[in-house]
Structure 1
């Protein structure tokens, strides 16, 4: 029974019509989710609108000089994609070697590389809220693609996401104007192809964007699944990597992943680990870490990550921060005493922390800022945004384009985009991934922030809740209950009934 819990949580987050309507409402001006508009932006089938914009299909973005359809046999044969494909093949070989005894069912690469498979545009997401990362302060726009296999007659999605990240500004347009265009588009009544045409019109938010704005390619694929057997639950592992275009080789090469802490390297090289600890616990870095705006130097980062799902039921060594910090961790790189001392220094300097109030909160944030740790918060694989599956039968379509995490974070993102539009200083701080900030709470009424399956602060001996999670409460009728495998963190899940 318990092996189906993770799937049940996902289904509960996806099927409720009220949540579907909420997702579309709160993301207006922040994401493009209309499947007909996305299909038009992908294929550009209608050319009578007076716009010369080629659209945002993978061919237009990665092979703009060609007019041939870019199915996956041609996509992965492009010279620019040679290193990316080789890296994928190496990762599959590495994974298979490491899991021989578990007999995993590997992702079908033959289908991925086949001429019957194509990537389709599943969503476009405004991430101007990441202005604190971008050198120009304007953040990013993300083009999210999912592979579709047409070989079986009925199109079938493969469990993978390819994400092209664009710099938000282009053609000399100022950040304020970019923000204004996106928020204005959120007020348009247009849908479908009409919406697509307005988005790429001369004054539309997508008009300046194209291949020249590409910053990187990100991938997230379900590299393998392992069936439930005696003593072990069902498990799915996801491979994540990031690639940037190298001007010398003219290829997309694997690069360090943002904030993906290389725990193995830090634990193996204690001198390097000590330098990381010293850097992280500096007051200014500790404060940024708390706010969720810290950027970890590349010397401490990995170029690949495997995220196991459901995380609550997997071995603790798969968690990114395991062995680095956390209550109960043997010989941690960063001890509870180190964290308590950092908290005291912050208090003495008058730094008001928003999220981290204990060693457990510190360890949670250390996981939370990594790609794999974020993935393991029972969010939806694929950057929390699978998109509405327009290729599936209506009865089996995903009803919501984004995860509850995605929905819950929209008020914060909107505040930031509005501040940039209005010339105000934006507040880039964010809560934990699985517990968005309370600002905009009324806009999230009806989401899973505190509903069935949500993370919550679990009471320990004496009925006390860890101070980092004291406000992680459950909705009326639900109680915070323990989940097997999560004992290292004082966090449970909201369920019906009592312990």
Structure 2
């Protein structure tokens, strides 16, 4: 019941804020008919991966493309590891495809089936990631949803997304980042929908005018690989497999790559020397400050190539993976001790003032999980995804459907402020708050919603002495609401705002 209540709060409370963010932002294309028109023109996945292709193709033909062979092989290996690990942990449970199993496995055959294809479900501006790729003005993400082409009575959309991530502009292209930012900001004033809006977006002065295959950087995949249906005890679990594949422009092939900031927890714990190297690197003042701001890029030697995230994760540190286990808890050996963190915070503060988000070991531990792909996706996702997108093949769009998670919606204000700064030639503030509690820079727009102090918002519960951790001092609830525990761990200080 608690999980069901949590999901209800998650979905219902975000709708008004979502509408405001979308109407005021213009930084994402979510209109179903517009997406359908864009895909039919030149934004189909196959058309970008194989420019000679003139129409959308089914997945049997898509994965026959030589450049995608490494993706198919890597996903096959990841599925095999998941099965082996699960059977080792729970040998008595049955895992398979379809009803009658304790754990339902994603039907991997759907990836390369003649009955499925990837349908464009959204286009998202990520100029806010210009700190990663400044010369390319950040990124543009084309998000595709795996869909049956002849569903019959079955749900057409399958639980997998594929993000084709492109540089926002081609290296050497004449358009400046300021010009590109201005084009995106202009979209919020467009009144057209459907084919007319698609035409404006790809017109010579539109934000998508010059998007082409030369800008491809990588593919990101997110698959609901396994699902344990709700039992009589009320518990359930869903596992999400995430991987990244970078594009080799010379060989015209994708290859498995380390995931940005996906800390390889198991390897760091198994290799003490590597763990110490990571500790020393992360706690260096400049790196710790970037870590606090959310702009840190962790070196590949500390990273993993796979993330397996579970939902619902709950709010207790023990439920969040993969990074929380790096903190020593007095029972298990970790990479960081509280003293390590306190000393590093004091040193950083002495050199440049107190950090914005991380003030205590608890804040440091939460940020460790927060910066990882898996950790981010465990928090406030809709069914494990942050952008479910719209069904551009549907005859009608479901009224009130929310195309993105509270995390996505809550971050639009920050992203828009960055795009405005870039348009105006000012130095952008790329910093971000914690995943499940947006920065106070958006407090006016988000106040009273499930994103910030309203019903269903993430909050911090004071301890028995009435004290609150300094890292979460602003995580309060609006008048008439109180911060209450969620899930089975009543000791967790992180809760949600509910009626008293």
Listed one character per residue, the Cα deviations across residues 170-217 of structure 1 (whole Å, up to 9, x for unaligned) are: 233211111111112222222211110011111111011111100100
- Please report the TM-score for the alignment, with normalisation by the length of structure 2: 0.91
Q: 1:121 to 1:194 in 2, by over 3 A?
A: same
- Aligned residue number for residue 302 of structure 1: 304
- Aligned residue number for residue 72 of structure 1: 59
Q: 1:27 to 1:290 in 2, by over 3 A?
A: same
- Aligned residue number for residue 466 of structure 2: 463
Instruction: Look up the SS of the partner of 1:388 in the other structure.
Output: coil
Q: How many angstroms does 1:112 deviate by? A: 3.0
1:125 is aligned to 2:115: no
State how far apart, in whole Å, the 2-side matches of 1:120 and 1:27 are: 24
Instruction: Look up the SS of the partner of 1:91 in the other structure.
Output: helix
2:32 pairs with one of 18, 25, 35: 35
- Aligned residue number for residue 477 of structure 1: 480
Listed one character per residue, the Cα deviations across residues 273-325 of structure 1 (whole Å, up to 9, x for unaligned) are: 10000000000001111111111000000000000000118993761113212
* Contact 1:27/1:407 (8 A) holds in 2: no
Q: 1:244 to 1:35 in 2, by over 3 A?
A: same
1:330 pairs with one of 329, 332, 337: 332
**Which sits farther off after the overlay, 272-281 or 442-451?**
442-451
State how far apart, in whole Å, the 2-side matches of 1:188 and 1:393 are: 24
**Which sits farther off after the overlay, 364-373 or 405-414?**
405-414
Q: How many angstroms does 1:476 deviate by? A: 2.6
* Contact 1:156/1:392 (8 A) holds in 2: no
Q: How many angstroms does 1:477 deviate by? A: 2.5
Q: How many angstroms does 1:72 deviate by? A: 1.1
2:495 pairs with one of 460, 473, 492: 492
Q: How many angstroms does 1:388 deviate by? A: 2.4
State how far apart, in whole Å, the 1-side matches of 2:373 and 2:284 are: 23
* Contact 2:358/2:364 (8 A) holds in 1: yes
* Contact 1:328/1:488 (8 A) holds in 2: no
Q: 1:3 to 1:492 in 2, by over 3 A?
A: closer
* Contact 1:340/1:358 (8 A) holds in 2: yes
Q: Map 1:256-271 onto structure 2 (within 5 A).
A: 256-271=258-273
**Which sits farther off after the overlay, 363-372 or 341-350?**
341-350
- Please report the TM-score for the alignment, with normalisation by the length of structure 1: 0.91
Q: 1:232 to 1:83 in 2, by over 3 A?
A: farther
Q: 1:445 to 1:472 in 2, by over 3 A?
A: closer
Instruction: Look up the SS of the partner of 1:495 in the other structure.
Output: strand
Listed one character per residue, the Cα deviations across residues 321-352 of structure 1 (whole Å, up to 9, x for unaligned) are: 13212666633210111111111112212323
* Contact 1:405/1:433 (8 A) holds in 2: yes
Q: How many angstroms does 1:495 deviate by? A: 1.9
Q: Map 1:11-410 onto structure 2 (within 5 A).
A: 11-13=11-13, 16=15, 18-28=16-26, 30-44=27-41, 55-100=42-87, 101=90, 102=93, 103=95, 104-136=103-135, 138-153=137-152, 156-170=156-170, 171-229=173-231, 233-247=235-249, 250-312=252-314, 316=318, 319-325=321-327, 330-381=332-383, 384-391=386-393, 399-410=401-412
Q: 1:481 to 1:393 in 2, by over 3 A?
A: farther
* Contact 2:224/2:384 (8 A) holds in 1: no
- Aligned residue number for residue 100 of structure 2: none
**Which sits farther off after the overlay, 333-342 or 438-447?**
438-447
State how far apart, in whole Å, the 1-side matches of 2:491 and 2:44 are: 44
Instruction: Give structure 2 stretches of 5+ with no counterpart.
Output: 96-102
State how far apart, in whole Å, the 2-side matches of 1:444 and 1:393 are: 33
1:435 is aligned to 2:448: no
State how far apart, in whole Å, the 2-side matches of 1:372 and 1:246 are: 25
State how far apart, in whole Å, the 1-side matches of 2:491 and 2:73 are: 37
Q: Which runs of 4 or more aligned residues in structure 1 lie more than 6 Å from their structure 2 counterparts after TM superposition?
A: none
State how far apart, in whole Å, the 1-side matches of 2:490 and 2:351 are: 33
**Which sits farther off after the overlay, 104-113 or 310-319?**
310-319
State how far apart, in whole Å, the 2-side matches of 1:37 and 1:395 are: 12
* Contact 1:23/1:402 (8 A) holds in 2: no
Q: How many angstroms does 1:62 deviate by? A: 1.1
Aligned length: 484
Q: How many angstroms does 1:3 deviate by? A: 4.2
**Which sits farther off after the overlay, 56-65 or 157-166?**
56-65
Instruction: Look up the SS of the partner of 2:189 in the other structure.
Output: coil
* Contact 2:143/2:162 (8 A) holds in 1: yes
State how far apart, in whole Å, the 1-side matches of 2:397 and 2:184 are: 32
State how far apart, in whole Å, the 2-side matches of 1:488 and 1:168 are: 45
Q: How many angstroms does 1:148 deviate by? A: 1.3
Instruction: Look up the SS of the partner of 2:449 in the other structure.
Output: coil
Q: 1:239 to 1:292 in 2, by over 3 A?
A: same
